[in-house]
Chains A and B, each alone.
Chain A
Amino acid sequence: MPDHDVLVIGAGLAGQRAALAAAEDDVSVGIISKVHPVRSHSNAAQGGINAALNPDDSWESHAFDTIKGSDYLADQDAVEIMTQEAPKELLHLEHLGVTFHRNEKGELGTRAFGGASAARTYYVADITGQAIMHVLYEQLMKYSDEVARYEEYFTTGLAIDDGGACVGAVCRNVKDGSMELFGAKSVILATGGNGQVWQPTTNALICTGDGISMAYRAGAVLMDMEMIQYHPTTLAGKGFLITEGARGEGAHLLNAKGERFMERYAPNKMELASRDVVSRAEQTEINEGRGFPDGTVALDITVVPRKRIHEALREIVLVGQDFAGVDITKEPIHIKPGNHYTMGGVKTDVWGRTNVEGLYAAGEVACVSVHGGNRLGANSLLDTLIFGRRSGEDAAERAKGREPARPSQSVLDDEQARIGEILGREKGSGRRVSEVRKELGETMDKHVAVFRDEAGINTALETVKRLQEEARSCYIDDRGSVFNQDALGALELGYMLDNAEATCVAALHRTESRGAQYRTDFPERNDEEWLKHIDLSHKDDAPEISYSDVTMTQWEPQERTY
C-alpha cells in the first residue's frame, strides 16, 4: 500500500501547487491524477492571473472588485486573503520561470480584464494557465524525490475511517487496471470542476466533478452549487472558449444589427462588465431576436491592432482558424454564452479544510468561497494557486507527528466490487453511458443555464433522478484491465449525476437572482432572505439543505452596476 503524509488527488494547478507546498514542509507527498498532469484542465485558462502588484493598485481594490463581481456572496475574509497574497504568489511563479509578458522596461506587464477597476491581469500571451502549469510540472520533475507522481491513476473513492476522518483513497491504475489503496494522513482534493455536466461546455472531457461527488459521499458539505458560470464568449455548438482577454484587448460585442449592445446593459464597463452580466445581455439579445440565426451574437476582434492580436491572442487566432474557419483578424466571430466554471463546490475554510477531518479541497472543486455568485476573469488561476498552497501547507502541518494512516482493506474491497459489478453488466441490459451523459448535458444546458425558472429546474431535477436510476444499469463494452476508459466513463457518469442533482436542488431552492443564478420567476436580488450560502450534505441518498452565513468584513452589499 502506497503511504504518504499528504496525498493530493488531481494535478492541475491547485494540486501541483499543493504538492509543492507540502513538499517544502519536508513531508512525504504523493500526487495522483487520472490523466498525465500536463493534460489537466488548468491549461485552458487563457487570459491571465490577477494580482494587485502595481504600486498604484491595492489589494482592497482587487478585493472589492471580486466581492462586487460575486454579487456579495463571496466570503470576504477569504477574498481578503486571496487578494493580499496574490502579489507574492505571482512573483513566486515568475521566479520559478513563468514567461510572463513584460513591459518595455522589462518589468511584468498587465492587461485589462472584466469586472476589474484596474489593469491587474498578468499573462503569458493567451496561454497563461498552460504556461504556469507546465512550469509547476517542471518543478514536480525537479522535486521527484520529494513528490511521488501517480500519473494516470483514477480515484474511485475516498477512504474514511470509523471516526469519520479521511485516511486515504482507492485508485485504479489506468494502465493496467490494478486497484490500490493509498494511505494518507491528509488528503487534498484538487480534481477541478464539473463542466461536463452541461453540453456544450468549455470544459475538457475530464471535468466530471469527481472530487465534488466523492467528497459529498464521504460526508463533506457542498456549498453554492447553484452558481454555475456561463462564459460570454464561447463558440456555438462546440463550446470552445474565446478568452476574455479578447475583450480586455478592446474587442466589441455586436448583435446581428451591428449594434454594440452592451451600451444598454453596462454603459460604463461595456464588454468588460462581469461575466454573468455580459452573458445575460447576450442571451437577452438572442432571445429577443437580435442575434444571428445560429443563436449567437458576434465578437469583433478586428478592432484590436493586428500586431497586438498576434502577440497577445495567438491561441484565439488558431481557435478561430481551426475550429470555426474564421480569421479573427479580418472578421467577427459568432459566439454565445456557454458553460464554463463551477463557483460552488466542496465547502472549505481559508486553509482548504473541509468538515471531514483530514480532507482538504482546493481550486475549482472547492468553494472557499472567493467567487460567490460569479467569478471574475483571471481570479480562477489565483484561487487555485493561493488555496492550493495554503491547503498543502496546512495538510503537511497536520500530518506531522501523526501516526501513519490505517485505511481499512474493506474500502478497497468495496471499490473493487463496485467496478466488478459495472464490468459484469450484461450487454444490452440498459442504456449506453454515452446516451445518458448526452441527455444529462442537454437537459442541464436547457434548464439550468443563464436564465432559470422553477418549472425548468424541476424538469431538470426529475430528469436527473431518472438518469440516476438508468445509470445503475448502463452497460459497457470493454471488459479488460488495460486502459479501460469505458469503465471509468461509467464511474464519471455517477459523479456527474451527483453534481447535477446538487445544482438543481440548490438552484430550485434559491428563490432570488444573484450572480450566475438568474431566476426569471424571482428576478431581483433579495439580500434580506438570501444573503447566505446554501449548503448541501448527503443524507438518505439525497442532498439535505442547510445554510451558512456570508462572512462580511468591510464591504456592505450595494446595487451592482457596471
Chain B
Amino acid sequence: MAAYTLKVRRFQPESGDGPYWETFDVELDPTLSVLDGLLQAKDRDDGSLAVRCSCRAAICGSCGVKINGQSALACKTQIGEAKEIANRRDGGSEPIVVEPMGNMPVIKDLVTDMESTHWTKIRRVTPWLLPEGDPPEREYIVPPESMIDITQSMACIQCGACVSSCLSMEADPDFIGPAALAKAYRFVGDPRDAETEERLHDLANDPHGIYDCTHCFSCIDACPKGVAPMDQIMRLRRKATAGYEIDDHNNGMRHEHAFVKIIESKGTLDESLLLQESFAPGLKGKLAPRPGAIKGLIESIPTAIRGLRSGKMRSLPKLIPGIHPKLPGDAQDNVRRIYAHAEDHSVELNLYIRGEEAEEDAPVPEAEAVPAAAIEPEPDEGGG
C-alpha cells in the first residue's frame, strides 16, 4: 500500500462551469493501475467522477485517458510507475495528472465523445471486408503469414489513445488518423479483400489520407496493444507506391521517392533538393516536367517559407544546392549497403511476429531490423 495523489481534470457539463482540476488522495498497491486509483476515488469520495471502464485488463479499450500528458489506458498504467514519471518531470512530490484524451470533445470529466471523431473516421475507410463474388464452400486459402500480419491491426481495441496523441490530427482535424488507417491496413493487407487498389487510391489521394502522417511516432508510443499505427500507415504507403505505383494528387509517392533517393545519395536529408526532387525528379523531370509539377512547386513555396520562419527548415544557406555536407568516412557507402540489403530482402517486415523470426533467446539481428527503417527514412528535419 502506498499513498498517491491524483490530479484530475474535471468537467461537469451541467454545472455551467468550465473545466477545473481536483485532487484525490488514494491508497493502493503500486502495482495496481491508475484506473484502480480513479475507481477508488469514485467509490470512496465522489461517485460523480466519470470515467469509462470495463475490463480492467487492457482488452476493452474503454479507459483511454492522458496520464502525465501521455495518452494511455488507465487500466494498463501502473500507479507506481505513473508516480515515478510525475516525480521525474516535476522533480518532487507532484501528483499524477489525469486528463481526458486529446483531439476529441469532452462529454464529462474523463469521458470523451469518440463517436464524432474516432468512429466517424473509422467508418470513413469502408471498414468491412469486400471480397470478390460468392465465398468458397470452405475457407479462403491464404498464406498463413498474411493472417499474422493483419492480426497486428486486428489487435487494435479502438481505445483512441493514438488518436488522442496524434500531432497531425492536432494540425489537421480532418486527418483520417492513426486508428482508422491501421484499420484500413487490416483490409488492404487481407488477401481476401478484392478492393485493395481502390482502397489505396482512395487513401493516397485523400488530402487527409496516408500522406498526412508526419512520422512523429506518437501513436506508436501511445498504443497499448502494439498495433503501431504509424507502421501500418507506412505499409499502406509502400503498398500504394511500390506495390501499385499510385501517382496521387498529394504528390505523396514522388515525395517519398525523393526522400529515399536523397538519403541514398547523401546519407542525410539535403533539403535543397527535396522540393525539386519531389515535383521534378532527376534530370528528366527537370528537362521535361510533367504537367502540374511547376504549379506544385510554386504552391509549395509558402510552406517552405513557413518552414524557414519557424525554424523547421534549418537555414537559408542550407537551401543552396551543393553545400549539403557529406557523411564522414565510408558512412555513405554503408548507407548504400543498407539500401542494397533492403532491396535484396524486400519482404515486408512485420515486427509484430518478431518472436517467430528469432531463435531461442537470440535478439533480432540488427541487419534484419534495419531495412524497414531504410525503406522509410525518417526525416530528421523538414516536411514529411
CB of B234 within 8 A of chain A?
Answer: no
Which chain B residues lie closer than 8 Å to A323 at the CB level? 31, 57
Known: A125-B151, A476-B47, A486-B47. A206 touches B361 (CB 8 A): no
Tell me whether A106 and B143 are in contact (CB under 8 A).
yes
Chain B residues contacting A485 (CB-CB under 8 Å) are 42, 47, 50
Q: Are A483 and B50 in contact (CB under 8 A)?
A: yes
**Inter-subunit contact B43/A434 (CB<8 Å):** yes
Which residues of B65-113 are within 8 A (CB) of A?
76, 78, 107-109, 111
Contact between chains at B56 and A205 (CB < 8 Å)? yes
Residue B155 contacts which of A39, A104, A127, A309 (CB distance < 8 angstroms)?
A: A127
Chain A CB within 10 A, most for which of B52, B122, B127, B147 = B147
In the bound complex, do residue B111 and residue A310 qualify as a contact, i.e. CB atoms below 8 Å apart? no
Are B55 and A41 in contact, with the CB atoms below 8 A? yes
B295 CB-CB contact with A under 8 Å? no
Q: Say whether A241 contacts B57, CB under 8 Å.
A: yes
Contact A139-B128, Cβ < 8 Å, known A106-B142, A131-B151, A311-B353: yes
Interface pair B355/A97, CB less than 8 Å apart: no
Contact: A310 with B48, CB < 8 Å?
no
Give CA–CA (A241, B12) in the complex, Å. 35
Instruction: State A253–B190 Cα separation when bound (angstroms).
Output: 38
Task: Scan residues 320-339 of chain A and give those whose CB is less than 8 A from a CB of chain B.
Answer: 322-323, 325
Which residues of chain A are near B50, meaning CB under 8 Å?
483, 485
Per-position binary interface string of chain A over residues 291-320, scored 1 when its CB falls under 8 Å from any chain B CB and 0 otherwise: 000000000000001110111001100110
Q: Quick check: is B245 within 8 A (CB to CB) of the other chain?
A: no
- B313 contacts A by Cβ under 8 Å: no
Chain A residues lying within 8 Å of B114, measured Cβ to Cβ, are 36
Interface assignment of B61: CB less than 8 Å from any CB of chain A = yes
Q: Contact at A91–B154, with CB atoms within 8 Å?
A: no
**Bound form: Cα–Cα A325–B32 in Å:** 11
Query: What CA separation (Å) do A489 and B13 show in the bound complex?
Result: 20
Q: Which residues of A contact B58 (CB under 8 A)?
A: 318-319, 322
Query: Are A43 and B60 in contact, CB atoms less than 8 angstroms apart?
Result: yes
Query: What's the least CB distance linking B153 to chain A, in Å?
Result: 9
A519 to B109 alpha-carbon distance, docked (Å) = 47
Residue of A nearest to B155 (CB): A127
CB distance from B225 to the nearest CB of A (A): 8
Interface residue B20 (Cβ < 8 Å from any Cβ of A): no
Taking a contact as CB atoms under 8 Å apart, the answer to whether B47 and A124 are in contact is no
- By a CB distance below 8 angstroms, the chain A residues around B76 are 322
Across the interface, B190 reaches (CB within 8 A) one of A99, A241, A434, A483, namely A99
- Nearest residue, chain B, Cβ from A87: B138
B55 touches A204 (CB 8 A): yes
Whether A100 sits at the interface, judged by CB under 8 Å, is: yes
Contact B192 A97 (CB under 8 A): yes
A484 and B42 alpha carbons, distance in the complex (Å): 12
Distance A501 CA – B140 CA, assembled complex (angstroms) = 48
> For residue A125, which residue of chain B has the nearest CB?
B151
Is B135 at the interface (CB under 8 A from chain A)?
yes
Assembly CA distance A241 to B190 (angstroms): 30
In the complex, which residue of chain B has the Cβ closest to the Cβ of A435?
A: B43
On chain B, the number of residues with a Cβ less than 8 Å from chain A's Cβ atoms is 68
- Asked if residues A91 and B190 are in contact (CB atoms below 8 Å), the reply is no
Nearest to A205 among chain B residues (CB) is B54
Q: Chain A 459-482 against B: per-residue CB contact (8 Å), 1 yes, 0 no?
A: 000000000000000001110111
Q: Mark A90-111, 1 if CB is under 8 A from B, else 0.
A: 0100111101111111111100
Which residues on A sit within 8 Å (CB–CB) of B78?
A: 322
Shortest Cβ distance from A477 into B: residue: B47
- Which B-chain residue is minimally distant from A480 (CB atoms)? B14
Q: A43-B59, A97-B128, A204-B54 are in contact. Are A127 and B154 (CB under 8 A)?
A: yes
A44-B59, A96-B129 as given contacts; A38 in contact with B147, CB under 8 Å: no
Nearest neighbor of B118 in chain A, beta-carbon distance:
A36
Q: A206-B54, A480-B14 are in contact. Are A91 and B355 (CB under 8 A)?
A: no
Closest residue to B36 on the A side, CB-wise?
Answer: A238
Q: A122 → chain B, closest Cβ, in Å?
A: 10
B321 to chain A, nearest CB (A): 48
Query: Chain A residues with Cβ under 8 A from B107's Cβ?
Result: 175, 482-483
Q: When chains A and B are docked, how far (Å) is the Cα of A40 from the Cα of B55?
A: 9
Determine if B129 and A94 form an interchain contact, defined as CB atoms under 8 angstroms apart.
Answer: no
Contact of A319 among B57, B354, B356, B361 (CB under 8 A): B57
Check A151/B48 contact, CB under 8 A, given A99-B150, A107-B141, A204-B55: no
What's the least CB distance linking B41 to chain A, in Å? 11
- Please pick, from A39, A142, A484, the residue contacting B62 in the complex, using a CB distance under 8 A: A39
Nearest residue in A to B142 (C-beta to C-beta)? A106
Interface hits, B122-150 → A, CB 8 Å: 122-123, 127-129, 131, 135, 138-144, 147-148, 150
Whether A104 contacts B353 in the complex (CB less than 8 A), given A477-B48, A480-B14, comes out as no
| Residue A433 CB within 8 A of the other chain | yes
B144 touches which one: A40, A101, A204 (CB < 8 A)? A101
Report whether B47 and A482 are in contact in the complex, using a CB–CB cutoff of 8 Å.
no
B10-35 with Cβ < 8 A to chain A: 12-14, 31-32
In the complex, are the beta carbons of A41 and B60 less than 8 A apart?
yes
Q: Which residues of B contact A134 (CB under 8 A)?
A: 154, 156, 158
Contact A105 B44 (CB under 8 A): no
Is A251 positioned at the interface, with any CB of B under 8 Å from its CB? Answer: no
**Do the beta carbons of A483 and B108 come within 8 Å of each other?**
yes
220-255 of chain A: CB within 8 A of chain B: 238, 240-241
Give, as a whole number of angstroms, the nearest-CB distance from B162 to chain A: 15
Q: Which residue of B62, B142, B358 is within 8 Å of A307 (Cβ)?
A: B358
Residues of chain B within 8 A of A151, CB atoms compared? 115
- B344 contacts A by Cβ under 8 Å: no
Q: A130 near B: Cβ within 8 Å?
A: yes
B127 & A141 in contact (Cβ 8 Å cutoff): yes
Q: When chains A and B are docked, how far (Å) is the Cα of A315 from the Cα of B109?
A: 30
Q: Is B53 an interface residue (CB 8 A)?
A: yes
Q: Which residue of B lies closest to A122 (CB)?
A: B139
Q: Is the CB of A35 within 8 A of B54?
A: yes
Question: With a CB–CB cut-off of 8 A, which chain B residues contact A99?
Answer: 147, 150-151, 154, 186, 190
The residues of B that contact A322 with a CB separation of less than 8 Å are 58, 76, 78
Known: A127-B154, A138-B127, A432-B44. 19 other contacts (CB 8 A): A38-B60, A39-B62, A44-B55, A91-B135, A95-B139, A97-B192, A99-B186, A101-B147, A104-B144, A107-B138, A125-B148, A138-B129, A307-B358, A315-B59, A323-B57, A434-B43, A434-B47, A480-B12, A483-B50
> Can you give 24 A-B contacts (C-beta < 8 A)?
A38-B61, A43-B157, A91-B138, A101-B147, A104-B144, A106-B142, A106-B143, A109-B144, A138-B127, A141-B123, A142-B128, A204-B54, A306-B355, A307-B355, A310-B355, A314-B226, A318-B225, A434-B42, A434-B44, A477-B47, A477-B48, A480-B14, A482-B108, A483-B111
| 6 interchain residue pairs of minimum CB distance | A310-B355, A97-B129, A434-B43, A478-B48, A486-B47, A477-B47
Q: Which A residues are within 8 Å of any B CB, using their own CB?
A: 35-36, 38-41, 43-44, 91, 94-97, 99-109, 124-125, 127, 130-131, 134-135, 138-139, 141-142, 151, 175, 204-206, 238, 240-241, 305-307, 309-311, 314-315, 318-319, 322-323, 325, 432-435, 476-478, 480-486, 489
